[in-house]
Amino acid sequence: MSKLQGCGLGLRREFIQEVIPQGFKPDFWEITPENWIHMPYHHKEAFEEIVSSSKTIAHGVSLSIGSDKKPSKKFLKQMKDFLDCYHIKEYSEHISFSNMQNAHSYELLPLPLTKSMIERLCDRIKYVQDALQRELILENATYYYVPHATMSEIDFLNELIHKSGVKFLLDVNNVYVNSVNHNYDAKAFIDEFDMSTVSYIHIAGHYDDKESGFLVDTHGKAVKDEVWDLLEHTLKKRKVPTMIERDNHIPSLKAMKREYEKLSSLYGSIS
């Protein structure tokens, strides 16, 4: 399949049956493998037609790369078989953990920002890439607390990139949410970040929880103006493929197309 380029959208069950009749074809689709490995039969035909005729990438949610134990060989084989079946080359995941001992969280939990965690992640990156026989792309996550930190987030990420050589999925909404919640300058963060390793960018919506005083990364609303502004700043640093994530309160494909067209217009205006 072709090189990743342009603007993309997350493919969701809520509107998959609308895609082919409406003839909508973004530059690329992103899928969450865990939502499609055991897909309902009535979606299978549409899914296979869309994926076979469009550039498609994968963004997982269950790898738990920072856990105390390595991802299981069974999980990695299942993921590789799925990616191979649909000829999906790019696979991204989160810098987080969700498994600990015998417990599993459905949240993507933050990792300690320490040099020892960087060493663990370097080892895991190689382990996962060897198992999947493809590059792993890692994404910066949101966090509302850090269990332990001996370094800043930007220093942690840049050192991880330097030591592992890992490619990056830069979530601009996550940068903005973290900057507000932890009182730092989002544009300064982007300026310090090693953009040379970024494979593609996410943008998404978030929720302002007045009761807690936090911005919450819900992926359940339209992209905010502040995130559009930060995206423009980021793309002027380095123009890379960019896509919209929407995981909750998913509207019709018609509504998603309007937001995609806004992204495409901004993307096209940047040389």
Q: What is the DSSP string of the chain?
A: -PPP-SEEEE--GGGHHHHHHHT---SEEEE-GGGTTT--HHHHHHHHHHHHHS-EEEE-S---TTSSSPPPHHHHHHHHHHHHHTT---EEEESSEEEETTEEEEEEEPPPBSHHHHHHHHHHHHHHHHHHTS-EEEE----S--S-BSS-HHHHHHHHHHHH--EEEEEHHHHHHHHHHTT--HHHHHHHS-GGGEEEEEE---EEETTTTEEE--S-SPPPHHHHHHHHHHHHH----EEE---SS---HHHHHHHHHHHHHHHHH--
What distances in angstroms separate CA 197 from CA 8, 200, 211, one per listed residue? 19, 9, 37
The whole-chain average pLDDT of the chain stands at 94
State how far the Cα of 217 lies from the Cα of 221, in Å rounded to an integer.
10
- Cβ atoms < 10 Å from Cβ of 118: 22
What global pTM score does this model have? Answer: 0.95
pLDDT digit string, tens, across residues 196-211 = 999 999 999 998 988 8
d(CA 27, CA 243): 9
pLDDT at position 104: 52
Q: What is the pLDDT of residue 102?
A: 63
- At 99 the pLDDT is 58
According to the model, what pLDDT value does residue 256 have?
97
Which two three-digit tokens encode residue 95?
A: 């810098």
User: What is the residue extent of each domain of the chain?
Assistant: 10-269
Considering 1-5, 39-43, 172-176, the range whose residues carry the highest mean pLDDT is 172-176
Instruction: Compute the CA torsion angle 12, 58, 219, 148 (nearest 10 deg).
Output: 150
| The predicted structure's pLDDT at residue 98 | 79
Residues forming beta bridges with residue 201, ordered by sequence position: 170, 242
CATH 3.20.20.150 fits 10-269, yes or no: yes
| Interatomic CA distance for residues 126 and 261, integer angstroms | 37
Q: CA–CA separation, 63 vs 114, rounded Å?
A: 20
Strand partners, 136: 91
Highest mean pLDDT among 60-69, 77-86, 100-109, 143-152: 77-86
What is d(CA 150, CA 160) in angstroms, rounded to the nearest whole number? 14
